Chains A and B, each alone.
Chain A
Amino acid sequence: MTDAGESITIEVALFATLRKYHPAGSDKGPVWMDVPEGTTVGGLLDILGIPAQQAKMAFISSRQGEDDRVIRDGERVAIFPPIAGG
């Protein structure tokens, strides 16, 4: 996290059981939101109130990202609970 008050705008998409954590009024589709510059994937989970163990996968602009991945302005972040199939 940075100490400055700069913020960036990112697109957040939550899926399956995590949909209920979408910021108010956007329980379905992806939503654009402002977060402090330097926010990581883990930090975003905190902002959204998603318990860390419920979030299994994150893709930032199609790339897999760990919790410490810093999100950049304009990026799309997709977060999923554990999912599998065939």
Chain B
Amino acid sequence: MAKILRVNMAQRNIIEEEVPEQLALLGGRGLTSTMILDEVPPGCHALGPNNKLIFAPGVVTGSAAASSGRISVGSKSPLTGGIKESNAGTPVATMLGRLRIKAIVVEGDPAPEGWWLLRVTSDSAELLPADDLDGAITSKVNEVLLERYGNRVGIVTVGPAGEQRMAMAGICFSDAEGRASRYAGRGGLGAVMGAKRLKAIVVDPQGAPGVEIKDQPLFRKGGRKLLDALQTHAVTKPGGTLNTYGTDALVNVMSEAGGLPTRNFARGNFEGANKIGGETLAETIAKRGGKGLSGHACHQGCVIKCSNIFPMEDGSEHVSVVEYESAWALGANCEIDDLDDVAEMIRLCNEYGVDTIEAGVAIGVAMEAGVVPFGDGKGAIKLLNEMGEGTPLGHIIGNGAAFTGRAFGVVRVPTVKGQAMPAYEPRAVKGMGITYATSPMGADHTAGYTVAQEILGIGGSEDALAVEGKADLSRSSQAASAFIDTFDYCLFIAFAILDIDTGLEGMVESINGVLGTEYTTADIDRIGMEVLRTERRFNELAGFTSADDRLPEFMTYEPLPPHNVVAGVSEAELDSVFA
């Protein structure tokens, strides 16, 4: 039987619950968002006693379904004040799926002193003192816990930023080799974990019964169809572009398209793009050799393998993973074009436990204010270290781009609902702007990735600079993302199944095989929309209105080079998305 673990940090006890019927068919984002709406008072303080932090693997996670080792984390966000789901690819997800743990709910008001560790095995769950990990960076936590519990366990942790409750703190999950590198980064969930005084979770998969599968033949049939699609599509197949160059191949694409936010969103192309893009990244990894690796899998069971391990000049390991969002945020957005400086900044974000997107955008805003000059890699590294040390300046930046903007009186602050925009300029990619503005998550590219159609020609082809039809494209993309995040396939399977119909069918058949349901592809939009409505309901009760579904004002009057266009999406169009 699947179960829910309720971890009460006030009483320091753990209760095992059966899964109520209305949650039985949900997992991942659908489950966390439903439980947050049901159990968390929308008006509560995100760092206070009434907020909860919920970890939930997807419905198919832990099964043999390809690229499905993802875990969703849900809560009220200390960054946006609204509902939050952020997910990561990690063996921790598959372990929880195989242990049939549908959710871990962390709740209650902890004593103000001391740190705790939650240890979960196939037949027990306990809270143990973790004061020895006080202040530890994430790699240290993993080193200590792998040593203590054996290297087969999965680890979840927060770094010093989460302990200090900074609003850009993320939650760090171990990767396939136990590295502290996979993040549910967005929205400050690490600060919630820190506020609960939970430093880490250790998951031991030994003796796990495995995911219950209602209809094995159907599950296998669907799995094969999805696998075929993934192994055929030019983007997702072995030796395909994701596998060879990683997501970082997008740096050159977006710069050439004039939609790569550069110099704190002052322009849409970056002269140094090629120096930090996927081609140079793959070349550098190959040339330096040693521990470097392209085509790394974040968890066993991924067939796409878009991750990497970036080496130092001498071939020793520097950091995993240099991906598009991180290389853009800490690179182009700060006009930094030195790949080694960018790698070092990613490493520091991983160690202190912060979201690379929010960090890069907050530093960009600080650069705009003249705290350090644009292009100054060493200066940016120093700012990250201030965060790790918890200096007053570190706290300002650590609380995110919007907070940094207010602290320094900056007008050009690229956030929606207080969350930093990712690596697509909304003025140059109109549908993406609509997603940023209207997603219940705040500015988030994964919430509705219209870039696929608008720039990449996947799942259709649209003019990126045209507004017409984009409200609908954004809405359907948001629904599809909410669906995929509920079953917790990696979102990157979308590139194959948008183009290959049998892959899409295969995904739905795999899900039916696990659940015993009779969903069709037509249910994707319906189920996704239900999740979105749940999330929007929470935000509404928390005080959000249509005035929060807006892009920052400067984008409405500041033309973006090289296209020299403003946002150009009317309020009526934005309000039509979920009307």
B269 at the interface (CB under 8 A from A): yes
Beyond A62-B563, A64-B464, whether A85 also contacts B256 by CB under 8 A is: no
Q: Are A83 and B445 in contact (CB under 8 A)?
A: no
Interface size on B, residues (CB 8 A): 43
Complexed CA–CA distance, A24 and B278 (Å): 22
Taken residue by residue from 219 to 257, chain B's Cβ proximity to chain A (1 for < 8 Å, 0 otherwise) reads as 000000000000001110000111011111110110011
- Partner pick for B242 among A15, A19, A84, CB 8 A cutoff: A84
Beyond A29-B274, A57-B455, A81-B234, whether A86 also contacts B256 by CB under 8 A is: no
Min CB–CB distance B378 → chain A (angstroms): 26
B553 at the interface (CB under 8 A from A): no
Query: Is chain B's interface secondary structure helix, strand, loop, or mixed overall?
Result: loop
Q: Are B241 and A83 in contact (CB under 8 A)?
A: yes
B358 at the interface (CB under 8 A from A): no
Complexed CA–CA distance, A83 and B278 (Å): 11
Complexed CA–CA distance, A62 and B258 (Å): 5
Taken residue by residue from 270 to 294, chain B's Cβ proximity to chain A (1 for < 8 Å, 0 otherwise) reads as 0000100111000000000000000
B335 at the interface (CB under 8 A from A): no
Min CB–CB distance A80 → chain B (angstroms): 6
Q: Are A80 and B253 in contact (CB under 8 A)?
A: yes
B306 at the interface (CB under 8 A from A): yes
A41 at the interface (CB under 8 A from B): no
Beyond A13-B256, A59-B257, whether A83 also contacts B274 by CB under 8 A is: no
Chain A residues, Cβ within 8 Å of B125:
none
Beyond A16-B278, A64-B463, whether A56 also contacts B249 by CB under 8 A is: no
Complexed CA–CA distance, A4 and B137 (Å): 68
Taken residue by residue from 452 to 467, chain B's Cβ proximity to chain A (1 for < 8 Å, 0 otherwise) reads as 1001111000011000
Chain A residues, Cβ within 8 Å of B325:
86
Chain B residues, Cβ within 8 Å of A59:
256-258
Chain B residues, Cβ within 8 Å of A16:
241, 244-245, 249, 252, 278-279
A26 at the interface (CB under 8 A from B): no
A82 at the interface (CB under 8 A from B): yes
B492 at the interface (CB under 8 A from A): yes
- Partner pick for A84 among B235, B463, B464, CB 8 A cutoff: B235
Q: Are B244 and A17 in contact (CB under 8 A)?
A: yes
Q: Which of B253, B324, B463, B562 has the most CB of A within 10 A?
A: B253
- Partner pick for A86 among B234, B247, B268, B457, CB 8 A cutoff: B247
B268, closest chain A residue (CB): A62
Q: Are A84 and B241 in contact (CB under 8 A)?
A: yes
- Partner pick for B446 among A80, A83, A86, CB 8 A cutoff: A86
Chain B residues, Cβ within 8 Å of A84:
235, 241-242, 250, 452, 456, 458, 492, 495
The 8 tightest CB contacts between A and B, nearest first, are A85-B247, A62-B258, A78-B256, A82-B234, A59-B256, A84-B495, A84-B235, A85-B250
Between-chain CB contacts (< 8 Å), 24 pairs? A15-B253, A15-B277, A16-B245, A57-B253, A59-B256, A59-B257, A64-B463, A64-B464, A80-B253, A82-B235, A82-B240, A82-B456, A82-B458, A83-B235, A83-B241, A83-B249, A83-B456, A85-B246, A85-B247, A85-B324, A85-B492, A86-B325, A86-B446, A86-B492
Other than the given A64-B463, A85-B247, 15 more pairs (CB < 8 A) read A15-B256, A16-B245, A16-B252, A57-B253, A57-B457, A59-B258, A81-B241, A82-B233, A82-B241, A82-B457, A83-B253, A85-B323, A85-B324, A86-B325, A86-B446
